[in-house]
Amino acid sequence: TNQRCHWYKHFHKNLKLNICDIGWRPPQTVLARKMLNESVTSASSEKTKIISLTNGLELEVPSEEPWFDNWKETFFSVQFPAEHEFTRNFLSCIIVLSSSDSNMLETANQLTQKVQMMQNMTPPKLPKWFQPNDVLNSYLLLHDGSMGDISMAQQTFEILKSNFGENRCFLLQINSSSGNGFQELLIKWILLMGNLVKSV
């Protein structure tokens, strides 16, 4: 038999990946309302159109309603996870470990147990998980190149992979540059982090 593989593509406008601390909680109701009000009042449109009214009057009005997009984005950011919706439920957990931790494996096991308890809590509390019994837990070993030898980090990484699986463990090296390039990179990170803090 000749079987064909059918590929279906689904495009979603402005699909975003939200990475946040597991201890994150939505703002309280009063603050959430204030944020929603500010999202509407701060939105303005440069594009206008002319509407003709009775008695020969013409009115210039915005041709777009950007306030709704602002309101929608703010609404999803302040919303508490609901039982019947999955817009604020977590899909995965990234457990970040330091290569300088002398008890890295013990730390990884403790964090894994803590996360599994949160994922399987009955009744479910915040944070809510999309599928509590089948959450993808990944492990990120963070190595600061300015503070230690990469070969030691790689040995630690091999231990991590042998315990938690090769496809679930990742090694990220930071501060591996030196000289002028390092300063330029540092400035870029500072600017990026400043923008992220402003957007939260």
Does residue 185 surpass a pLDDT of 80?
Answer: no
Per-residue pLDDT reduced to its tens digit, 6-19 = 556 666 677 777 77
Q: From CA 65, how far away is CA 36, in angstroms rounded?
A: 15
Q: Domains plus CATH for the chain?
A: 29-78 (no CATH), 92-199 (3.30.420)
The answer, yes or no, to whether residue 5 has pLDDT greater than 60, is no
Average pLDDT, the chain: 80
Which has the higher per-residue pLDDT, 192 or 200?
192
pLDDT computed for residue 139 by the predictor: 95
In angstroms, rounded to a whole number, what is the distance separating the alpha carbons of residues 150 and 173?
8
Of 32, 120, 110, give the one whose Cα is nearest residue 71. Answer: 32
- CA angle, 14 then 65 then 47, to 5°: 105
Give 96-139 pLDDT, tens digit per residue.
999 999 899 999 999 999 888 888 877 777 777 777 677 788 99
Q: What is the pLDDT of residues 34-64, one digit of tens each?
A: 999 988 888 766 677 788 887 788 887 766 6
9 vs 200: CA distance, rounded Å: 32
Three-point CA angle 138, 100, 136, nearest 5° = 5
Regarding pTM above 0.75, the answer is no
Give kind and range of the element (H or E) at residue 185.
helix 180-199
